[in-house]
Every structure is written in structure tokens, then in C-alpha cells.
Amino acid sequence: MSIDEQTLQQKDRDFVWHPYTQMHDYAQRDLLLVDRAEGLMLYDSKGRGYFDTISSWWCVVHGHGHPVIKKYVREQLDRLGHVILAGISHESAILLAEKLIKITPPKLTKVFYSDNGSTTCEVAVKMSLQYWRHCGQPQRQGLVALERGYHGDTIGAMSLGGVPEFHQAFAHLMFPSHRVPPPYCYRCPAGMPEEVRSVAASAATTADAATETDPGSLPCDCRCLAPFEELLIREGERIAAFILEPRIMGAGGLIVYPAQWLRRAAELARRYQVHLIFDEVATGFGRTGTMFALESAGVSPDFLCLSKGLTNGTLPMAVTVTTNEIYQAFYAEYNEDKTFFHGHTFSGNPLAAAAALGSLEVFEQEQTMAGLPAKISHLDRCLERFRDLPWVGDLRRLGMIAALELVEDKKTRQPFAPAKRVGWHIFLAGLKEGLLLRPMGNVTYLWLPLSATGEEISEICNRMWRVLSNSAIINPGGRR
Ligand SMILES: Cc1ncc(COP(=O)(O)O)c(C=O)c1O
């Protein structure tokens, strides 16, 4: 670093307002100032390393600073840094779209570029609503989303979110939409008895597509879908689309749910001709053990929203991938007024597109997906001992994502009170161990880059054990 650390810390306090951060927490405390990164490690200016166990907000797939991705971006920078994408094109956007169509479900044939996870979801919603207008069903304006779902922080995305902690202050701004219960097996919304609930919970965490290609039915029969079905019976003809995060609801609490639920939900939506919007902004690009989480349930949406891992976190980019049927409903003489009037300054930015091409190249060169099952099994073995901790209420895992829901009382599942700030104390203790852990509320999680080696996974879990097994950190003074 060319400027000394203390000067930078002070300038940060003076000039920067950080996202999802109570700045008062840093009035007396320095924040982690990252100087450089390589592989799984973030390094501060003193050269101290921290395992990036959250893939830098769920973006990094192949590790930081991958040479192939750097090469793609450098070469692109020498040719073309930016160009408008409205009615103009460039090689990287074209080649990337072609590659994405090859790796997404066959029904998806068109790529619409944008630049972040919130907008890719909003694009899908707008396309769905406009599609129904073009197809003579303008009454289909309703939207359905899950309680505890998360699709971003713009007003449109918030309107479809279900995490009150984040968005309730803006409730008056949001457009109305329907909410249905989430498949939160640990806290079963249908109130299933323990022996039934636990079968679903274990199906949620073990049914990776790699190990189970034809998930059977669950003893609970996905009873939590009943309100969705009732809504469809009542209002199906007025509903345009159902938006959800396949297999893992991320920001709503790392809720891992069974493939069977996803299949059943998709079948219901189809029965009532409701569009399916799969928000794989977080789960896309291998994180759940398959390239896309939807593969584990063998379902294909009308819209697939991708971002984060698309560029390995190198540059901002998002895509909404959709079907020919949707595309054709907009394809007409200009005067028919069917154009999709939506775009962003950085839609399809060439540098971001090059980074994404580089990332897809790494998937091929390193056969990343083929190496995952062994890593995932190893992660499972490393996590097993955490189950016995008195405050680990639930341990859920899918692919390279693992979550530990910490509770005050294991029997009653009573959560720790927010005022205890368990997550904050874990975050601070993690830093001391050289780990970037960033719990969400009472849920501590690993969202590991696919490039993590067996040794790195072991080391991360050992360090996390030292944090989570320490009652002075998690539950000082015991129950209150
Ligand atoms: C599933 C999901 N959708 C959408 C978003 C919003 O993405 P962005 O922060 O890029 O707007 C996120 C961000 O975490 C996400 O996890």
C-alpha cells in the first residue's frame, strides 16, 4: 500500500459509508483493510492472511486473481473497454451469450444483459408482465414470491423480498405482491411432526444432483406448498410469475430445501401457466454442486437470473436468460410497440463479458465440476463434529455451501436474541483466527470458492471450530 494504513483507516472513516454496516461499530475499531488477494486468501497491508470463506459476497468461484481471468480482462482492455449495447454489439458479449445458452437448460435460448443481481430479477419481472400484455392476458399482473426470499435492494427487488429485517422501513414504497411460506424444514411452516420434518430436512441437505438424480416424494408431501396451491386455485389466471431462489434461500437465512419441493412448486406454477423466475444470482456457477441449482430438480424456468459468480466477482455483470417463446412475443415491427424498453449503461460491458468468458474457460480447463464431489464429501466430514455443539440447532449443507443455525436452546429452537449480536462476535473472533466469517443473524455459514482444496477446507473448519466451540464467544454467561 502506498499510503500508510492508519491514514487510510481515517480517510475511510471520513469519506466512506459501507453497505450493510452500522458505521458506529467502527468509530473506535479499524475495519479489515484488504490490500490484495490470491486464491482463497485476502491479505491486509501487514501481509496477514484471512480465508475468504464467503467468496467475497458469494462471487468468487475459482479463487481470487485467477491468471486466466486476468488474461481475458487484460486483452479485452487493450481492445475495447466499453461500448453501448443498445443496437450495437461486440465479440465478448456475443460469445458469452452463446456459451451461456450452451450450459443452461435447452429451453433457454436468449441472453439479456444487465449489471447486478437486483436488476436481473427486475428484468425478468418486467419481461413477464409485458409478455402477458402482448399475449392478450393483461390481467396477469400478480407476482408471487417466498417469505424470507431475497432478490436485491432496489425497490422492485425489495417488493419481491421477504426479509423484513432488511426492507420493512420501505414497505410503503413497495408494489403489492403475494407471499407464500418458504420450505424452511428446520422451522417447518406446515408444522409437521419432528419425525416427518427431519426426513425433509435431511433430503434438503443430501440430495445433490450428483448423488440423486430422481428425488422421490417426501413423507411430508411438501405440505408447506398448500398455500401456494390455494393461491393459484383462487387467482392463478391473474398471476404472471413466481420468483424464487432454487434449492438455497441465501440472504433469508441460508435455507437449504429439498429438490422435491422445487419440482413440486414448478409443477404447480406450470399447471396454472405462471412463469417461473429462478433467481440463481447466488446459487449459479457450481456453488450447490451442479452448475445451476435447478439441475438437481430437473426443472427449467422461463427466466434464469445470474450474476455474482458469472465473472468470478471480477467485474459487475448480470444476465436474464429466457426462452424463445418469451423473446418471440416481443419480436415485431417497431410500430407494433412491442420493444422491451429496458437497459443499463453497463449492460454487457466488454471487460465484464471477458471476465465471464475467462471464468467459463477455467471451468473447462480445470474440470472444476468434476472435482467437486470429493471436496463436498470432505467438507461434510469436517463439519460433522459441529452438530454436537449445544448451540448448533441445525447444520445444513448443499454443494460448497454450509450453514449452522445457532440457537439459544436446542430443544425449543429458540433463537438467540438479536440484541446479543452473536453474528458480530463470531465475525470479530473469526478475524482473529484469520477467517472472514460473516454470519447472517444467528446463521454462520461457509460459502466456499469451488477452488478450495481439501487442506484448505480442513484448515477453515478447524479455525471455525475454534470460534464456534468457544462458549465465551457464542453464549457468554449461558442462557438469559
Ligand atoms: C439470490 C439473490 N438475488 C439477488 C441479489 C441481489 O444482487 P445485487 O446485490 O448484485 O443487486 C442477491 C444478492 O445477494 C442474491 O443473493
Q: Which atom of ligand 1 is nearest to the CA of 305?
A: 3
Q: Which residues of 37-53 are buried (b: 16+ CB within 10 A; e: fewer)?
A: bebbbbebeeeeebbbb
- DSSP state for residue 247 in the 8-state scheme: S
Numbered ranges of CATH 3.90.1150.10 in the chain: 32-61+369-474
pLDDT at 212: 47
Q: Name residue 398's beta-bridge partners.
A: 401
Q: Is 245 in the pocket of ligand 1 (CB under 6 A)?
A: yes
Q: Which residues contact 260 (CB under 8 A, 6 or more apart)?
A: 203, 207, 215, 216, 217, 218, 222, 297
Q: Is 282 in the pocket of ligand 1 (CB under 6 A)?
A: yes
Residues 13/398, Cβ–Cβ less than 8 Å:
no
pLDDT along the chain (480 residues), means of 10: 89 97 96 97 96 98 98 98 98 98 98 98 98 98 98 97 92 96 96 89 68 66 96 98 98 97 97 98 98 97 98 98 98 98 97 98 98 97 97 97 97 95 97 98 97 98 98 78
Q: Is 162 in the pocket of ligand 1 (CB under 6 A)?
A: no
pLDDT at 211: 44
Measured distance CA(420)–CA(442) in Å, rounded: 10
Instruction: Identify the three-state secondary structure at position 42.
Output: strand
Q: Which atom of ligand 1 is nearest to the CA of 250?
A: 16
How far does residue 110's CA lie from ligand 1's centre (Å)?
21
How far does residue 59's CA lie from ligand 1's centre (Å)?
10
Q: Is 281 in the pocket of ligand 1 (CB under 6 A)?
A: yes
- Determine the residue of 116, 121, 151, 159 to mutate for testing ligand 1's pocket, defined as the one with the most ligand atoms within 8 A of the Cβ atom: 151
How far does residue 47's CA lie from ligand 1's centre (Å)?
31
Is the CATH code 1.20.950.20 the one for domain 32-61+369-474? no
Q: Is 279 in the pocket of ligand 1 (CB under 6 A)?
A: yes
Numbered ranges of CATH 3.40.640.10 in the chain: 68-365
Paired sense of beta strands 34-38 and 142-146, if any:
unpaired
CATH number listed for the domain at residues 68-365: 3.40.640.10
How far does residue 282's CA lie from ligand 1's centre (Å)?
7
Nearest 5°: phi and psi at 166?
Answer: -85, -40
Q: Name residue 114's beta-bridge partners.
A: 318
Measured distance CA(292)–CA(6) in Å, rounded: 43
Q: Which atom of ligand 1 is nearest to the CA of 318?
A: 10
Rounded to whole angstroms, what are the CA distances from 389 to 76, 206, 298, 325?
50, 21, 36, 51
Rounded to whole angstroms, what are the CA distances from 388 to 391, 400, 405, 463?
8, 21, 13, 17
pTM flag (> 0.95) = yes
- Determine the residue of 148, 308, 443 to mutate for testing ligand 1's pocket, defined as the one with the most ligand atoms within 8 A of the Cβ atom: 308
Q: Which residues of 262-298 are buried (b: 16+ CB within 10 A; e: fewer)?
A: bbbbbebbeebebbbbbbbbbbbbbbbbbbbbbbbbe
Cα–chain-centroid distance for residue 464? 22
pLDDT at 479: 57
Residue ranges of E strands in 298-400: 303-306, 318-323, 392-398
pLDDT at 207: 52
- Determine the residue of 58, 59, 113, 118 to mutate for testing ligand 1's pocket, defined as the one with the most ligand atoms within 8 A of the Cβ atom: 118
Q: Is 150 in the pocket of ligand 1 (CB under 6 A)?
A: yes
